[in-house]
Structure 1
Amino acid sequence: MNLTGKIAILTGVSKGIGRATAEALLAKGAIVAGWGRSAPEGLQHERFQFFECDVRDEVAVQEAYVNTRRELGAEIHVLVNNAGLGISGEVDGFSSDDWKLMFDTNVHGMFFCTKAVLPQMKQQQEGHIINISSIAGTTGIEKMAGYCATKFAVRGFSQSLYKEVRNDGIKVTCFYPGSTQTNFFDDIPGTEANDSMMRPEDIADTIIYALETPFNFHLVDIEMRPCSRKNK
């Protein structure tokens, strides 16, 4: 897909991978609708517009979708489901509220946003949905059972969806990033973001690569990991 002039919806736009992806899309000429609870600081661009939206709320998602089409245009070409969070803890002491919060954000939010854009993408017979899972969506991690459960759900949803919509000209790609320098680790005891991790820009650049694939194929699953655990 040539991204010039294409409308892209991006959730979780304020920081990290979301912010980097917004900047990468803008650099390719896309029109970006950033959805989130807070706007990215300092991101000013004539082709960027922020829409306040809590993806956990289906009504808020529908309102953001209607507002996006009214302000930017009816056709929606790209959806990047990036909004998410991780909370660690042992299962027998884990907060049920935190468990629900992760599922509401990481899984239900992805579903609400995808459900909103699909009718238009099917009508135009073109679209690309990017879902951000995690390495935690491919393997279990001690004290991260809840987060892993949500990211396994993203994986299953993505792999099912691409088979469902591939004949409608819609691509679905699921990303599984490993350790990345974002604020994700702020709430994970014992781990801090460091220079041996991937950068948000690395993920963003690969998202662009996936979006720019020719019409006749798409990348279904992309796993990304740091090259080395040690700085050189």
Structure 2
Amino acid sequence: MDLSGKVAIITGVSKGIGRATAEALLAKGAIVAGWGRTAPDDFKHPRFHFIKCDIRKEADVQKAYAATTKELGQQVHVLVNNAGIGNFGPIDGFSSDDWHAMFDTNVHGLFYCTRAVLPQMKQQKEGHIINVASLAGTAGSPNLAGYCATKYAVRGFSDSLFKEVRPQGVRVTCIMPGSVETNFNGAEPGQKPDPHKMQPEDIAAAIVHALEAPQSTMISELQMRPTLPK
């Protein structure tokens, strides 16, 4: 897909992978609707439109989609389901609220956003949905059972979805990064890049790569790891 002039929705746009993806798509000439609970700091661009949205709430997603199409036109070409949270800890010490918060964001919110854009993408026979999962969706880890469960769900959803919407010309890619240097789980990125972690810009570049693949090609799944293991 040639991204110039295309409309892209990115969730969780305020920082990390979401913000880096917004910058990468803007650099390619796309028009970006950034959905999030908070606007990114010091981020202004004539083709960037922030729309306040808590994807955990279905009504919020419907309002954000209506606001996006009102402002940018009916056609939406890209959805990057990036918003996600991780609460870690042992299962018998885990609060139900933390468990629900992860599923409400990582799984249910992703479903609401996907369902919002699909009818138009199918009608225009063009669209690309990127679901940001994790390598935690490929193998379980102690004290990450809840987070892994959500990312396994995202991977299964993506695998089913691409088979469902392929005949209508809609592509679906599941991106599964390993360790990325972001504010994820409250951790502050270091002053110097950690050689054992990828940068948000690396994931954004992979998203652009998947989007720009020839129309005859769909990258359905992409696993990413730091080159240097710990």
TM-score (norm 2): 0.96
Pairing 1:183–2:162 present: no
Residue identity opposite 1:41 in structure 2: D
Q: For residue 95 of structure 1, what is the aligned residue in structure 2?
A: 95
Over 3 Å counting, the alpha-carbon distance change for 1:54 and 1:185 in structure 2 is closer
How far off is 1:185 after superposition?
Answer: 4.2
Pairing 1:22–2:15 present: no
Residue identity opposite 1:21 in structure 2: T
What per-residue deviation string (whole Å, max 9, x for no partner) do you get for residues 165-213 of structure 1? 000000000010000000114269xxxx834200000000010000001
Show the 5 A alignment for 1:46-195. Answer: 46-186=46-186, 194-195=194-195
Q: In 1, are the aligned partners of 2:173 and 2:218 still within 8 Å (CA)? A: yes
Q: In 2, are the aligned partners of 1:12 and 1:82 still within 8 Å (CA)? A: yes
Partner Cα distance (2:177, 2:3) in 1: 23
Partner Cα distance (2:27, 2:216) in 1: 24
Partner Cα distance (1:208, 1:66) in 2: 25
How far off is 1:217 after superposition?
Answer: 1.4
Residue identity opposite 1:178 in structure 2: G
Q: In 2, are the aligned partners of 1:61 and 1:113 still within 8 Å (CA)? A: yes
Between the two proteins, the alignment pairs up a number of residues equal to 226
Unaligned runs of 5+ in 2: none
Unaligned runs of 5+ in 1: none
What per-residue deviation string (whole Å, max 9, x for no partner) do you get for residues 45-84 of structure 1? 0000000000000000000000000001110000000000
Partner Cα distance (1:41, 1:184) in 2: 17
Q: In 2, are the aligned partners of 1:181 and 1:195 still within 8 Å (CA)? A: no
**4+ residue segments displaced more than 4 Å:** none
Residue identity opposite 1:85 in structure 2: I
Cα RMSD for the two superposed structures = 1.2
Q: In 2, are the aligned partners of 1:128 and 1:172 still within 8 Å (CA)? A: yes
Pairing 1:38–2:38 present: yes
Secondary structure of 2:35's counterpart equals strand
Q: In 2, are the aligned partners of 1:87 and 1:187 still within 8 Å (CA)? A: no
How far off is 1:43 after superposition?
Answer: 1.0
What per-residue deviation string (whole Å, max 9, x for no partner) do you get for residues 101-144 of structure 1? 00000000000000000000011000000000001000001100
Secondary structure of 2:130's counterpart equals strand
Partner Cα distance (2:29, 2:159) in 1: 29
Q: In 1, are the aligned partners of 2:195 and 2:228 still within 8 Å (CA)? A: no
Residue identity opposite 2:144 in structure 1: M
